[in-house]
Structure 1
Amino acid sequence: MRAVVLNCTLKKSPEPSNTEKLAGPVAAGLRDKGVAAESFRVVDYNVPPGVETDLGDGDQWPQLHKALLAAEILVIASPTWLGRPSSVAQRVLERMDAMLSETDEQDKPVAYNRVAGVVVTGNEDGAHHVISEISGALNDIGYTIPGQAWTYWNMGPGPGPSYSDTEHGHQWSYKTAATMADNLFAVASALQANPI
């Protein structure tokens, strides 16, 4: 089984990413179950706006799309900005819109029999809103969203330090990350045994 993490931070490599740090325990939990987990920082790729899988010359979304189709598990990781998903996460979902009309060998939508979850970081509130927006879009595309297929971290109301600047709340975030990995793996395994 394979998993892909799409890190939708606004920070290009090698700048440290708080979102990547919280997505790490989810990927580690999946690897503990024998899943091959791979992470991509979307801003390191040229992904122009659009709703097609391949926009032609210079478009690197097809590389990420290929990784999605090779994986049974997808994790979209996004920071919270103004209580909403990052612009990078929104662009990913817009590009994934093309998958609505793509079918597999059995003429079923390509996202069927795949599961997805969400990781959110930010020193402001809004994580549940971000989880809802991303999960709803992925469900529309055809992904199955298991119960509690998310983890998040924030500092609570008002400005404050970033995830990597404090240990505040990390234990809870790690616990929910472990549950997220368990639930993603369990449902992905069930779909392998009994496909939609």
Structure 2
Amino acid sequence: MRAVVLNCSLKKSPDTSNTQMLADVVVKALEQRDVEVRTIRVVDHDVPPGVVTDLGDGDEWPMIHDELLNAEILVVATPTWVGHPSSIAQRVIERMDAMISEQDDEGRPVAYNRVAGVVVTGNEDGAHHVISEVAGALGDIGYTIPGQAWTYWNMGPGPGPNYPDTVHGHDWSKSTGEAMAANLHAVATALAKSPVPAPPSSS
């Protein structure tokens, strides 16, 4: 089984990503279940705005799109900025919009029988709103969202220290991330055994 983590940090490598630190909790728990995980920091790639899979020369989204189709599990990891997902996360969702009309060999949307979850960090409040926005979009695209397929860390309302600068809430975020990984793996395993069929024809 394979998983891909799309880290939607605004920071390019090799800058430290708080979001990656929490995502790594989920990565480790997935790897303990023999899941092969690839992490992509989206901002390191040229991903222009758009709602199609391939915008032509210089567009690196098709490579990321291929990784999505090669994985049964997707984790979108995003920081919180002014109570919303990062602009990179929004761009990812917009580019994934094209997947709604892409079909597999059995006439199903290509995201069917794949599961997805969300990791959120931020020294401000708003994590549940961000989770709802991202998970709702992924469900629209066709992903199955297991129960409690998310984890987050924040300091509550207002500014504060970053994730690595405090131990506040780390135990809860870690245990929730491990539960997230277990639920993603369990539902992906169930879908592999009993796939969701193509939608009924309207004709």
Task: Give 2:175's aligned residue.
Answer: 175
Specify the alignment match of 2:82 in structure 1.
82
The CA deviation at 1:188 is 0.2
Mapped to 1, the partners of 2:144 and 2:170 lie a distance apart of 27
What's the TM-score once normalised by structure 2's chain length? 0.96
The residue correspondences of 1:19-58 to structure 2 (distance < 5 A) are: 19-58=19-58
Which 10-residue stretch deviates more, 43-52 or 151-160? 151-160
Per-residue deviation at 1:125? 0.2
Q: Deviations over 1:61-91 (max 9, x none)?
A: 0000000000000000000000000000000
Shift of 1:10: 0.1
Unpaired runs of 5+ residues, structure 2, are 197-203
Per the TM alignment, residue 143 of structure 1 is displaced from its structure 2 partner at its CA by: 0.1
Q: Displacement, 1:159?
A: 1.1
Partner-residue secondary structure (3-state), 1:195: coil
Match of 2:65 in 1: 65
Q: In the alignment, which residue of structure 2 is the partner of 1:132?
A: 132
User: CA offset at residue 147 of structure 1?
Assistant: 0.2
Partners of 1:98 and 1:79 in 2: how far apart?
A: 24
Q: In structure 2, how many angstroms separate the alpha carbons of the residues matched to 1:29 and 1:159? A: 30
Residue 109 in 1 paired to residue 128 in 2? no
Matched, 1:98 2:104: no
Unpaired segments ≥5 residues, structure 1: none
- Name which of structure 1's ranges 151-160 and 110-119 shifts more when overlaid on structure 2: 151-160
Task: State the Cα deviation string for residues 89-138 of structure 1 (Å, max 9, x = none).
Answer: 00000000000010001011000000000000000000000000000000
Kindly tell me the number of residue pairs found equivalent between the two proteins. Answer: 196
| Distance of 2:17 and 2:168 partners within structure 1 | 17
Counterpart-to-counterpart distance in 2, 1:113 and 1:44: 28
Shift of 1:149: 0.1
Which residue in 1 is equivalent to 2:149?
149
Deviating above 2 A after TM superposition, structure 1's stretches of 4 or more consecutive aligned residues are none
CA offsets 1:28-80 (integer angstroms, 9 cap, x no match): 10000000011000000000000000000000000000000000000000000
1:135-187, Cα deviation, whole Å (9 max, x unpaired): 00000000000000000000012211011111111000000000000000000
Matching of residue 166 in structure 1 with residue 166 in structure 2: yes
Q: Which whole-Å CA distance do the structure 1 matches of 2:129 and 2:20 have between them?
A: 20
Q: Which whole-Å CA distance do the structure 2 matches of 1:87 and 1:165 have between them?
A: 24
Q: For 1:59 and 1:145, locate their aligned partners in 2 and report how far apart those are by CA, in whole Å.
A: 28
Task: Output the TM-score relative to the length of structure 1.
Answer: 1.00
